[in-house]
């Protein structure tokens, strides 16, 4: 089936989700048809599925520099991985005073989970970010107390694309004997990620942000570090950390997507960065009052978050049926409040509502960028009467 929308709409919302790479789809197909075994079964069908899962796990493990297969725990996505990391570690320390440090710009999967834990007696500190959307590692160090058990800092932000100084934060957490979790759902597709270089004990990933299928993800759990307590109970899959029959086609897809990234990510990121910078130049020339949110140097190559004062982002999008772009984060669609990320940067409500997120990906072309820049400028000028 070809998607007729692709002929009519330029997709520039790759941070919301990515299309599944056709090579990934091809690798998955046998596991949706003939090779349907349950990897927990002892017979030939089960072994066939288990062998394929093993290969997928190795591919993913290699991509993030993990040492043991058992460190890669398959989940249903980054939301579940975040939940397992945070709630699972809080439960591992039940009975003691517990303090978790996180940041004001985390994805809601982390922030809401932390706030829930706070209702259950866990102390939570949310570290603010500067005007560039960056966390100061010294603020993390200063917030650590004798009862701190975990620091959770996202690698790259889903709205403004800023990349945190995780290796520096990892050094601080190691020096203090505190665990470090990162939500790396947004970074893995375009930025190198190595668990040892960054010093993380736990890391969340999502397949549908790296050209894999939806509904599958990973929690990396460092061998020898404190293990989270399982949040789903039943079978003993995933070394007892996540019960439930494995999503074999999804896992094969995720493993294949990881293998493609290992080969192509650097090249793609370079190309996407050049396109993003070209788009930025075009937009700056056409809309001089436009401001970019977040650091331009410590930023995902494919992300642009721009504020156009006085131009409501919802209105802009309504005028652009041929463009798929986002106001703030797609995961928050329908929420009346302005984005917590933009307000954490210091934007007022009006500016937060005049903010667009444009995100480029593997299939983005120069022609698409030219058209998008032209259409956006026209829509903004129509709204502002310029």
Ligand X SMILES: Cc1ncc(COP(=O)(O)O)c(C=O)c1O
Where do contacts with ligand X occur on this chain (CB under 6 A)?
Answer: 77-79, 107, 109, 154, 158, 183, 185-186, 206, 217, 331
Separation between Cα atoms, residue 197 and residue 184, nearest integer Å? 14
> Rounded to the nearest whole angstrom, what is the least distance from the CB of residue 308 to ligand X in the complex?
23
Q: Shortest Cβ contact with ligand X: which residue?
A: 77
DSSP H helices in 12-136: 22-32, 44-64, 78-92, 108-119
Pairwise CA distance, residues 13 & 330, whole Å: 9
- Residue 214's nearest CA partner among 80, 33, 306 is 80
- The residue among 37 and 228 lying less far from ligand X, judged by its C-beta, is 228
The rounded distance, in Å, linking the Cα atoms of 102 and 61 is: 26
Report in angstroms how near the CB of residue 146 gets to ligand X at its nearest. Answer: 30
Least distance (Å) between residue 369 CB and ligand X: 23
331 carries an active-site annotation: yes
Task: Work out the burial of residue 318: count CB atoms within 10 Å of its CB; fewer than 13 is exposed, 13-18 middle, 19 or more buried.
Answer: exposed
Nearest residue (CB) to ligand X, 37 versus 253? 253
Nearest CA to 264 out of 365, 154, 361 is that of: 361
Nearer to ligand X, 105 or 311 (CB): 105
Q: Please, what is the minimum distance in Å from the beta carbon of residue 288 to ligand X?
A: 31
| Nearer of residues 65 and 215 to ligand X, judged by Cβ | 215
Q: Which of 29, 141, 331, 377 is catalytic?
A: 331
Q: How far apart are CA 200 and CA 100, in angstroms?
A: 15
Tokens representing 306 are: 């721009």
- Measured distance CA(77)–CA(74) in Å, rounded: 8
In DSSP notation, 211-274 reads TS-SS-EEEEE-TTSPPPPPSS-SS-TGGGTS-S---HHHHHHHHHHHHHHHHHHHHHHHHHHH
| Cβ nearer to ligand X, comparing 21 with 287 | 21
Which C-beta is closer to ligand X: that of 357 or that of 379? Answer: 357
Smallest distance, ligand X to C-beta of residue 154, A: 6
**Minimum CB–partner distance for residue 155 and ligand X (Å):** 8
Dist CA 266 CA 77 (whole Å): 24
Provide the annotated active-site residues: 331
């Amino acid at each position: 089936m070809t998607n007729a929308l692709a002929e009519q709409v330029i997709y520039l919302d790759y941070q919301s989700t990515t299309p599944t790479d056709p090579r990934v789809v091809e690798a998955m197909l046998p596991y949706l048809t003939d090779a349907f075994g349950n990897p927990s079964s002892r017979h030939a069908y089960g072994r066939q599925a288990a062998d394929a899962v093993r290969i997928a796990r190795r591919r993913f493990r290699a991509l993030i520099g993990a040492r043991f297969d058992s460190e890669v725990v398959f989940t249903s996505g980054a939301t579940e991985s975040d939940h397992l990391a945070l709630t699972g570690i809080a439960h591992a320390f039940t009975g003691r005073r517990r303090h978790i440090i996180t940041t004001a710009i985390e994805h809601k999967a982390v922030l809401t989970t932390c706030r829930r834990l706070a209702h259950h007696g866990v102390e939570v500190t949310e570290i603010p970010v500067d005007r560039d959307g960056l966390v100061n590692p010294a603020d993390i160090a200063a917030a650590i107390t004798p009862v701190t058990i975990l620091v959770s800092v996202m690698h790259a932000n889903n709205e403004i694309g800023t990349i945190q100084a995780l290796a520096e934060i990892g050094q601080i957490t190691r020096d203090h004997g505190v665990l470090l979790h990162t939500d790396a759902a947004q970074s893995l597709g375009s930025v190198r990620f190595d668990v040892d270089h960054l010093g993380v004990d736990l890391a969340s990933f999502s397949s549908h942000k790296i050209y894999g299928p939806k509904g599958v993800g990973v929690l990396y759990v460092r061998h020898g570090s404190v293990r989270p307590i399982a949040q789903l109970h039943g079978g003993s899959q995933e070394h007892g950390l996540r019960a439930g029959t494995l999503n074999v086609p999804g896992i094969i897809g995720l493993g294949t997507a990881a293998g493609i990234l290992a080969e192509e990510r650097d090249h793609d990121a370079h190309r996407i960065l050049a396109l993003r910078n070209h788009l930025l130049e075009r937009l700056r020339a056409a809309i001089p009052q436009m401001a970019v949110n977040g650091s331009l140097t410590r930023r995902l190559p494919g992300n642009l978050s721009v504020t156009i004062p006085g131009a409501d982002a919802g209105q802009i999008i309504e005028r652009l049926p041929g463009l798929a772009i986002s106001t703030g984060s797609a995961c928050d669609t329908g929420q009346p409040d302005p984005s917590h990320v933009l307000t954490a940067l210091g934007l007022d409500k009006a500016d937060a509502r005049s903010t667009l997120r444009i995100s480029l990906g593997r299939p983005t072309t120069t022609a698409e960028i030219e058209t998008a820049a032209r259409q956006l400028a026209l829509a903004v000028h129509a709204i502002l009467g310029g």
